[in-house]
Structure 1
Amino acid sequence: MPVPREMNPPGNSPDPWGGLRQIFPEGEIFVVTDDAELGAHTAGLGLATALLGEVAELPDGASVVLLLRNSLVSRDIRRMFRRFGVLLVPIASFDPALDAARYTFDLVRHTDYERACEWNRYWARNIAGQPGPLVFTGHGTGLECAFGDDISADAWMNTRIDVGKWISVASYCEFSLTAPSTRDWRGTFDLNGTVVASGLLVAQDARAREPGAARVRRARRLRAEMVARGPMTLRLREGVLASVEAGGVDFTDALSEVTNPDYELHTLELGIGTNMSLLPRVDWTFNSQLNEGAGPVHLGFGEGITGAHMDFIVAECEHRFEGDGVVQQSHAQPV
């Protein structure tokens, strides 16, 4: 049966931490950031804020929301936070502009983490237990997802983050299935059909070197053009992107180049959004990681190292498991 909604959505709480209190219900929470401008913004919201260089002064066992605007995640940064429970928000991997950083943190505060975890558990149950393929339909999208034998997913199932844990915000907001290796494209899923996407993200991995980083820079320019011309229509056959167009322009070859043509436009990620309650607040023009979990499904190409990782996000559609006869709306509750 449906899960009841909270009467007061997290972001509208009198507590300025909003939904973050679901993750860190006890004690003081600290924002830690590598950027003074972003730190001034969070402090202005009434939130306890420290800069990266001040981490040693935080008390043992502190709850930390880590906003990296200027730095990609590294082992050295992770070592600095062993004494804490950490929610990571890797802003620099997507768009370090101040307006994008402020927008991202606003969505972080407005996320309903308890509900997102319920969705993650729903998808873990059903993908493992349903015999038929998963189908997304409606609003121009018609995509069939057949699963292979080698299924693994990245998702966080428990709302709280305890001391010693380092969890990315994406692990709450999407149920991400990825190819088991760059050589085994179809061991996890096979995709066929059409997708109409409203959002598009570009991400860079910390391990990227030239020419991968150069491809990421070109991908960001390509993203701006495609989103401006959107919505974007993708056609897939056996997990390979056959074409992508926006506003009557074919971007297939350009997408192949910036994500690394060696991958031949194989889909490397099937991402299922678990943070759809954000949809009224989402601005698809931003290259923000929080956008990808707000749509029911997104498809990722490239790995962010040798070329850009690019996610195409469907803003609205329904889903069903073939044969069960049950259709869930994009805004429905997990059952």
Structure 2
Amino acid sequence: MDIREFHQSLIQKQIPIIVDSLEVNLYLTEQGYKTKLFDLYNFESQEVAFLIFSDYRYYYKLKELWQTSKSRIVHLPAVKFDGSLETIDYSFKQILAADIEQCLNIRSNLYQKIAEADSELSLSDWRGSKLNCHLGESIEIANNDEELDPGWFYSIAEFLESSIVNTKGDKASFSVDGTFFFDGILYQTTTEDTKEENIKPLKYLAERVASSQEKYLEIEDNTIARLIVDGQDLTSVLLDMTYHMERNLSLTEIAFGCNNGILETINWGINSVLNEGVYGTHVGIGMAQKAPHIDFISQTLKLI
């Protein structure tokens, strides 16, 4: 089964949805979806299923399941961002509304554009964004498959963006310089402890960005030198977080969203993974383990 068939089956309520909370279970069953509780689901089955994570305790089980699962699973990792029912509702509706065929076509064209680039990507927009992205000799990208293989857990976000990452080290795949105007941010952590340790500055920054008019990054040697929001330098807010434990403020990702359909309904006040798929460009810092991964997302800066 490929992601197109999966998405259509999800819309038509033909595949089960695995849940880790009774609240999410009720939310879905009231809409007529067939659900299965995480603790009762047999991951050694050959079944195809959608999975919603709202509780870190269950998300932590992913590492073990990678070794044993035989199911084809696409998941919404809501808890890494915001596991509240309000955010899950917003995210789920955006998933159902997405034009997957269009997203995959854009994603394919974006990866082709990246592959054909000699060593540089240059992007600019009418707001004053101007980025130069130097590509390494070999680059690491996110999943670009369309087929769903047994035993794999695919985040829904993988199908809504083309992404280059520096997971192996700073500048391993790319290095960016320039000015980047953005519309909103998104933050995530893979552990509850990291989220709790950074939640105050994260929420403060998210609220300031959501209520602001103009915001931009100045990026030097692949590192955020300044974060400016409505004329105020908020770089210190980033420095107050735990980035000294994980890559400091160097960029760990540059990605290009493929979802045109979300442009009219996107809500920057909701910390949903679906927002990063908006057609445009985003850059990110942090690895989400010891420090938050924050995406700065632009709707106006585009590679194609």
Query: CA 1:291 to 1:279, structure 2 compared with 1: closer, same or farther past 3 Å?
Result: same
Kept in 1, the 8 Å contact 2:161–2:256? The answer is: yes
Give secondary structure in 2 for the equivalent of 1:42: helix
Asked if 1:143 corresponds to 2:127, the answer is: no
2:184 to 199, 214, 226: 199
Give secondary structure in 2 for the equivalent of 1:87: strand
**Inter-partner Cα distance in structure 2 for 1:236 and 1:23:** 43
Query: CA 1:76 to 1:95, structure 2 compared with 1: closer, same or farther past 3 Å?
Result: closer
Q: What's the CA shift for 1:120?
A: 2.7
Query: CA 1:55 to 1:284, structure 2 compared with 1: closer, same or farther past 3 Å?
Result: same
2:280 to 296, 312, 321: 296
2:40 to 30, 54, 70: 54
- Structure 2: 5+ residue runs without aligned partners? none
Aligned residue type for 2:105: E
Kept in 2, the 8 Å contact 1:194–1:235? The answer is: yes
1:246-303 C-alpha deviation (Å, 9 max, x unpaired): 1222111211332513534211111211223321121111100010011411111111
**Inter-partner Cα distance in structure 2 for 1:256 and 1:178:** 22
Q: Which protein is richer in helix relative to its size?
A: 2
Aligned residue type for 2:178: G
**Inter-partner Cα distance in structure 1 for 2:6 and 2:262:** 14
The ranges of structure 1 where at least 4 consecutive aligned residues each deviate by more than 6 angstroms after the TM superposition are 23-27
Asked if 1:65 corresponds to 2:50, the answer is: yes
Query: CA 1:59 to 1:44, structure 2 compared with 1: closer, same or farther past 3 Å?
Result: farther
Q: State how 1:1-335 maps to structure 2 within 5 Å.
A: 20-22=6-8, 28-56=14-42, 60-71=45-56, 73-75=59-61, 79=65, 82-131=69-118, 133-140=120-127, 141-158=129-146, 160-181=147-168, 184-206=169-191, 209=193, 213-261=196-244, 263-319=247-303, 328=304
Q: What's the CA shift for 1:33?
A: 1.0
1:145-187 C-alpha deviation (Å, 9 max, x unpaired): 12121301013331x4244332111211122211143xx3223
Query: CA 1:178 to 1:132, structure 2 compared with 1: closer, same or farther past 3 Å?
Result: closer
Q: What's the CA shift for 1:114?
A: 2.7
Query: CA 1:26 to 1:85, structure 2 compared with 1: closer, same or farther past 3 Å?
Result: farther
Aligned residues: 297
1:72-111 C-alpha deviation (Å, 9 max, x unpaired): 6224676298242110110000011221111011111122
**Inter-partner Cα distance in structure 2 for 1:277 and 1:78:** 35
User: What TM-score do you get using the length of structure 1 for normalisation?
Assistant: 0.79
Give secondary structure in 2 for the equivalent of 1:283: coil
* Deviates most, 46-55 or 305-314: 46-55
Identity of aligned residues (%): 21
- Structure 1: 5+ residue runs without aligned partners? 1-17, 320-327, 329-335
Kept in 1, the 8 Å contact 2:119–2:136? The answer is: no
Query: CA 1:256 to 1:149, structure 2 compared with 1: closer, same or farther past 3 Å?
Result: farther
**Inter-partner Cα distance in structure 2 for 1:134 and 1:283:** 29
**Inter-partner Cα distance in structure 1 for 2:221 and 2:55:** 38
Kept in 2, the 8 Å contact 1:24–1:63? The answer is: no
Query: CA 1:95 to 1:230, structure 2 compared with 1: closer, same or farther past 3 Å?
Result: farther
Q: What's the CA shift for 1:65?
A: 0.8
